Amino acid sequence: MSSVPGTGARPSARTPPHPAGLFITFEGGDGVGKTTQAALLEEWLTDAGRTVVRTREPGGTEVGVLIRDIVLHHRGEVSARAEALLYAADRAHHVATLVRPALARGDVVIQDRYLDSSVAYQGAGRVLGTQEVRDLSLWATEGLLPDLTVLLDLDPATARARLDADDKPFDRLEAEKEHFHARVREEFLALADAEPERFLVLDASRPAVDLAAAVRERVELLLHAA
C-alpha cells in the first residue's frame, strides 16, 4: 500500500463518512421487538418531515433476499465460515447499493440488524472470533459504522417464549440452543460497553411505548447535533 506524501502515513482504507444522513441500527436477540421499534421510529421521523429509508439485514436488496434464503432456510449444513461470509456479502452489497446512497442524499436510514449482529452471532455464537468477524464486516462496508445503535436487551428465555407465542417456524439461527443465544446476548452487551457513545441499551421487557420514547429522546439529540 502506498503512503500519504510527506507524512509517511498509510492512506485510510475507509471511505469518507456519510455527509448529511443519519444511520440508526437496531440490534438484539431474536424476539426482542426490534421490528416494532424500527417501525415506530420511522413513523415519528416521517411525521417530523424526514425522509426515512427502513431496511434490514439480511435481505435488504434483491441479492440480499437470495442470500437470506440460503443463510436462514437452507436445509443442509452451512459451515460457520461460509455463514459469516454470506452475511458479510449481503452487507457489502446492501451498504454499497442502498445504505450509502441514502445517507449521501441526507436520508435517515433505520436498519434492523447490522455488523454487531455478525460479531454477536458468528463471532461469539459460532465462536469464529469477534475481532475477525468485525474486521470482515468493516472490510465489506468500507468502514461504515452507525451513528446510533439501539440494543434491545432481553434474556434469551423470555425472548424464546415470545417467539414460541408467535407460532412461526424457527429459522436456522433461531433454532440454536440456549447457550448459543446466551453467548450472543453477552457479546451484544460487551459491544455496547466498549462503545457507549454509539450504543443506547434498553431493557426490552419494558412496554413498547416507553422504549419508543427513549429511542426518540436519543435520536432528537442526534438530529439537533447534526
Q: Of the two residues 121 and 199, which places its CB atom closer to ligand TYD in the complex?
A: 121
Q: Which residues bind ligand TYD (CB under 6 A)?
A: 30, 56-58, 72, 87, 112-113, 117-118, 121-122, 171, 173-174
**For the chain, how long is the longest CA-to-CA vector?**
63
Say which residue the cell 470482515 belongs to.
136
d(C-alpha 82, C-alpha 61), whole Å: 20
Nearest distance in Å: CB 196, ligand TYD: 22
Helix axes of 80-94 and 130-140: crossing angle, nearest 10 degrees: 30
Closest separation in Å from C-beta 31 to ligand TYD: 8
Pick 171 or 217: Cβ nearer ligand TYD: 171
Q: Are 31 and 157 in contact (CB under 8 A)?
A: no
**Smallest separation (angstroms) from ligand TYD to the CB of 171:** 6
Smallest distance from the beta carbon of 160 to ligand TYD, in angstroms? 12
Q: How far apart are CA 175 and CA 137, in angstroms?
A: 24
Query: 148 and 200 in contact (C-beta within 8 Å)?
Result: yes
Q: 45 or 86: whose CB is closer to ligand TYD?
A: 86
Q: Which of 161/223 has CB closer to ligand TYD?
A: 161
Those residues whose C-beta lies under 8 Å from the C-beta of residue 144, and which sit 6 or more positions away, are 15, 18, 23, 95, 99, 100
Nearer to ligand TYD, 106 or 170 (CB): 170
Smallest distance from ligand TYD to CB 56, Å: 6
Query: Rounded to whole angstroms, how far apart are CA atoms 53 and 33?
Result: 19
